[in-house]
Amino acid sequence: MMPLLSLIALAWLFATPAIAVEIVDHDGMLMDHGDGHLMNMAGGMVMGQNSDILPGGCDKISETQEITVHAGHRYAEKFPGRMFAFDTQEFNFKPCTKLTVHFINEDKIRHQWMMHGLPKYLYPKGMFHLEITGPAKISGTLILPPGDKTYLVHCDIAQHMEKGMKAQLKVGKGDGDLPSIPGVTAFVQADDYEASLPQLIAAAEAREKELATAQPSSDPTQNTAASTKAKQPDGFFSGTTVIGLALGLLIAPFLAKKFKGMTFSEVLAYVFEAVGSGIRFMAGLVTDLIKIIANKKNKTLPEN
């Protein structure tokens, strides 16, 4: 009897950790609804899935990366005042990286790993989005755009971001930091536990008054600036302006078609590359011309 009992005890001991973190894997259970939208009847969802279309400005996939992100209440314990969090608050990838995210929700509620600000011609609503009721795992793939930009990653379930489930994903060098990222950046509006409520109200009222009185004082300078501008109407329709306008009107329909759906930075990158190749082409012409002239001189030299 004793050996049997100890065997059961041993089996239970080994089984406990497995029971504690029973994560349902939803990969392979998803139905593809097209346009990068996958979901299943168990509540798993992927939106903005893209594993093969290159964003504008990417010549090729720069590298292939795979990350596992955990989400849950326990990851917020180290951030005072927060309730939910991812296990990672900051991500960094090269532009044009093909990124697969394995999202593991450890809470018995719904969480998301939602990325914003992606090019809308490729990602519906500019989003890449993994969502699952936990404890469960769901995976998705996207190709990151070119350029240096900081993207918001959060859980959009009501109040989950405000309670800490927020991160930033920097492509390249990024373009700054987002506020209120747990452990990374300061709160936009920090709680003040030092002052009493009447003191806080008085301070807020004083700030409002200050803003109200500051408004009219800046007006005279604006007026003078406007009047000096109004005094120089000559040259408004100068020759260059007219030529520029005409050229712009001619090129506009072509550009509108070309840049449809691209973000400003992508358009800028495209224009710079076009200008660059134009300069290279002109330089090539000049070198060819010099070569031709030099060759002719070489030919005439022996005759002399």
* Using rule CB under 5 A, residue 170 touches Cu ion: no
| 85 sits near Cu ion (criterion: CB under 5 A) | no
Residue 269 in contact with Cu ion, rule: CB under 5 A: no
Between residues 122 and 155, which has the closer beta carbon with respect to Cu ion?
155
Closer CB to Cu ion, residue 38 or residue 85? 85
Three-state secondary structure call for residue 90: strand
Nearer to Cu ion, 162 or 192 (CB): 162
Q: Which is nearer to Cu ion, 55 or 134 (CB)?
A: 134
Candidate segments 19-27, 105-113, 228-236, 259-267, binder of Cu ion by CB under 5 A: 105-113
Distance of CA 261 to the CA centre of its chain: 16
Beta strands in the chain (DSSP E): 24-25, 31-32, 38-39, 45-47, 64-72, 85-86, 90-93, 98-105, 110-115, 128-133, 136-143, 149-154, 166-171
Told to check if 157 binds Cu ion by CB under 5 A, we report yes
Nearer to Cu ion among residue 98 and residue 111 (C-beta): 111
Smallest gap from residue 32 Cβ to Cu ion (A) = 25
Helix H or strand E segment including 214? helix 197-217
CB of 44 to Cu ion, least distance (A): 14
The interface region with Cu ion, picked from 52-60, 149-157, 179-187, 290-298 by CB under 5 A, is: 149-157
Q: Does 54 bind Cu ion (CB under 5 A)?
A: no
Angle between helices 197-217 and 219-230 (to 10 degrees): 30
Q: Is the previous residue joined to 135 through a cis bond, with omega within 30 degrees of 0?
A: yes
- Residue 145 · residue 93 · CB < 8 Å: no
Among 111, 129, 166, 170, binds Cu ion (CB under 5 A): 111
Residues 6+ apart with CB under 8 A from 22: 135
Tokens of 200: 């806080």
The contact set with Cu ion (CB under 5 A) reads 111, 155, 157, 160
